[in-house]
Structure 1
Amino acid sequence: MENQPKLNSTKQVIAFLTERFPQCFTAEGEARPLKIGIFQDLVDRVQGEMNLSKTQLRSALRLYTSSSRYLYGIKVGATRVDLDGNTCGLLDKQHVEHASKQLEEAKARMQAQREQQQAKKRKAGEDTAPRRPRKPIRKPAAKGKQPRKVRSKPECPQAERNSSAPREETQTSSSKPVTDTSALQVGQSIKVTAGKSAMDATILEISKDGVRVQLANGLAMIVRAEHLQF
């Protein structure tokens, strides 16, 4: 007895019971309902074999009777068996209902565990997946528009305008205003006043409405006598 190997795990104890009592315990398929009080029968039959203790037998029996295989076998019309496979009466209704409830709870726990494991896998996959750096978002330029260029302003715009503009001759003290158009002649050179300046012109025509002249820039116009000077 002392030299017999010791069974360390509960699953090993169950495997031993299926070999020792094949008409009662099964390793595969639907399990048969066990006799009420079968624990004491086990203690009487196998205590001391394989160095088994009562605690090991109780744990193995609890694990075996809580498995899905065993709970599926607890149904209306099924009969209980003893260690040698002999029938020991039909199942009570309350035992069938209790087993069905345990089976539903076991299914719910298994489903919750599967969902939790899947959530962990998804999270682990997201954590380990390399993240691509985000590229800065650039707004596309409007179609047909070119980048705006800043034009540099001339240093002396006023001076350039003054230098490029044609200079008009200013009125001199020697010029005399025309008081009588009868003294004028066609083709005569004369000055046309505009404000404080005077421009060279040639008389084209003399009429009662005024004197038609042609400026040096080629522009022809009719002016009154008070705007003319010799």
Structure 2
Amino acid sequence: MTEQQTEQKEQQTEPQKLSNSKAVIAYLAERFPLCFSLEGEAKPLKIGIFQDLATALEHDETVSKTQLRHALRQYTSNWRYLHGCKVGAARVDLQGESCGVLEQEHADHAAEQLQQAKAKVAERKAQMRAALKAKNAEKTSAEKQRNDQASRKPFGAPKAAHPLKAHKAHKAQSTAKGKSAVKRENPSHPAVNLTPVKVENLLKGQQVKVKLAEKANRATVLEVMKDSARVQLQSGIMLNVAFEHLYNVE
């Protein structure tokens, strides 16, 4: 057997020290099953049980006295243990033998600890719910603000477009301007005479005309907002139009 194999074998035979209180409690439940338990209501422990454990595990290198002290503190503050601490309940030693009964003073102390523990848990849950509610409210507020900004966007405001689409739009705009100039020069196409709507009388479902590129388009009012109205053209297109572009249907 090589030196390395010998060292590995020695390491394997060395006792593995327990890493945390949870592991120590599981170890105690395995060594002293009539005293410690991992499920159900725990039995009240004998007064001075720590010293009994220290003596019983004196040569056990898997757990130290400090670990035992921390593990016992965690075990006796657990809700399972506090629930079992009632007046007259029998205390047990490492072998599960009865070692006196729980007195009123100790039962009251356990009940107070249990109440405080439950209150802390309830407070943490309330804080988590409040934080989640505030986060959702902030998210809703941000979405509402974005929607309000979108609904208040001026009619005809320029939008970012693909270069090819922008070129086509520019060409179409130039053509429209040319046609408009021809109309102005041609007396056979008189300008459209329209009567502006009265904003205070504007209602949802009202028939109006929308002036687009010197042309009046018939539309239906879908919603009246602060500075504009959302309408639907006869072609089915829906858009937001500033009040000054809306006219009465003659």
Q: Do both share a fold (TM > 0.5)?
A: yes
TM-score (normalizing by structure 2): 0.53
Deviation of the 1:92 alpha carbon: 1.0
Aligned residue in 1 for 2:60:
49
Distance 1:128 1:8, change over 3 A: farther
Larger % of helix: which?
2
Aligned residue in 2 for 1:136:
152
Paired residues of 2:88 and 2:103 also in contact (CA < 8 A): no
Paired residues of 2:87 and 2:102 also in contact (CA < 8 A): yes
Within-5 A mapping of 1:51-200? 51-127=62-138, 131=143, 132-134=146-148, 135-136=151-152, 140-142=199-201
Structure 1: stretches of 5+ with no match in the other structure: 148-230
Instruction: Find the aligned partners of 2:59 and 2:138 in 1 and give their Cα distance.
Output: 53
Letter aligned with residue 46 of structure 2: K
Matched, 1:18 2:77: no
Structure 2: stretches of 5+ with no match in the other structure: 1-9, 154-197, 210-250
Q: Report which of the two structures shows the higher radius of gyration computed on alpha carbons.
A: 1
The Cα offsets for residues 110-167 of structure 1, whole Å up to 9 and x where unpaired, read as 1001111222223344455661421339x944159x99xxxxxxxxxxxxxxxxxxxx
Secondary structure class of the residue paired with 1:49? coil
Identity %: 46
Distance 1:89 1:115, change over 3 A: same
2:50 aligned residue (26, 39, 54): 39
Paired residues of 1:32 and 1:80 also in contact (CA < 8 A): yes
TM-score (normalizing by structure 1): 0.57
The Cα offsets for residues 8-49 of structure 1, whole Å up to 9 and x where unpaired, read as 111010111111110000101100000000000000111342
What is the count of residue pairs matched by the alignment?
A: 146
Runs of 4+ in 1 over 6 A off after TM superposition: none
Letter aligned with residue 19 of structure 2: N
